[in-house]
């Protein structure tokens, strides 16, 4: 069993560590699909009565769709499977803390429990920026568990962004070289015509 973060937070007191890690590994498998597409590697699964009924991974860039988040895809598939918009007996597992849009969809779908791999201090709305999942002002609150397989989830994100920065740096260097080469070729062409 992998060591979990000591900062693990729970709205619900029960600890389902074995199950949570099992399904978070499935969410990580989905995140790897996004990674393979050069998308931000976020994965999600929704579990109902011990079975995965919805899977999703980030596809915003590939689909050119700002709504193509892992959570929304998994929610849509789970709702179709249950033939109901209410996912009242489900648990959602996601590798990265949900954004405001996904947190809103989770509340709207009445999902009772969410398990998060790693937090998102820049855009997370399950505790980092604000917590839309546990707001008493809404008609539905979510039991929230964070930090499940946190190191694996955050490690994948860090690796993805490090590789992305390296690719961008290499691309810029190539553009500079190609631009300089183009300038030299242009000057040579000008000198030959004079």
* Active site (annotated) includes residue 71: yes
Out of 71, 97, 150, 152, pick the active-site residue: 71
Q: Cα-flanking dihedrals φ and ψ of residue 162, to 5°?
A: -65, -45
Q: Which of 67, 66, 68 is CA-nearest to residue 34?
A: 68
Of 137, 143, 87, whose CA–CA distance to 110 is shortest? Answer: 87
Altogether, the residues listed in the chain come to a count of 194
Are residues 75 and 106 in contact, defined by beta-carbon separation less than 8 angstroms?
yes
Which two three-digit tokens encode residue 159?
């690796």
Catalytic annotation, residues: 71
């Amino acid at each position: 069993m992998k060591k979990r973060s000591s900062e693990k937070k729970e709205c619900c007191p029960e600890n389902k560590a074995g199950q949570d890690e099992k399904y978070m590994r499935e969410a990580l498998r989905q995140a790897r699909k996004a990674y393979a597409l050069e998308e931000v590697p976020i994965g999600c699964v929704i579990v109902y009565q011990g079975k995965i009924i919805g899977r999703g991974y980030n596809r915003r860039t590939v689909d050119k769709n700002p709504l193509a988040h892992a959570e929304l895809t998994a929610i849509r598939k789970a709702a179709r499977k249950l033939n109901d918009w209410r996912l009242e007996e489900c648990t959602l597992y996601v590798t990265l803390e949900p954004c405001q849009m996904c947190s809103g969809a989770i509340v709207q779908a009445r999902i009772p429990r969410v398990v998060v791999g790693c937090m998102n201090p820049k855009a997370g709305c399950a505790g980092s920026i604000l917590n839309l999942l546990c707001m008493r002002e809404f008609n539905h609150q979510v039991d929230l568990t964070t930090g499940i397989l946190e190191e694996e989830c955050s490690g994948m994100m860090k690796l993805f962004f490090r590789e992305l920065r390296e690719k961008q740096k290499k691309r810029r260097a190539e553009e500079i070289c190609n631009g300089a080469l183009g300038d030299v070729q242009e000057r040579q062409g000008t000198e030959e015509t004079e």
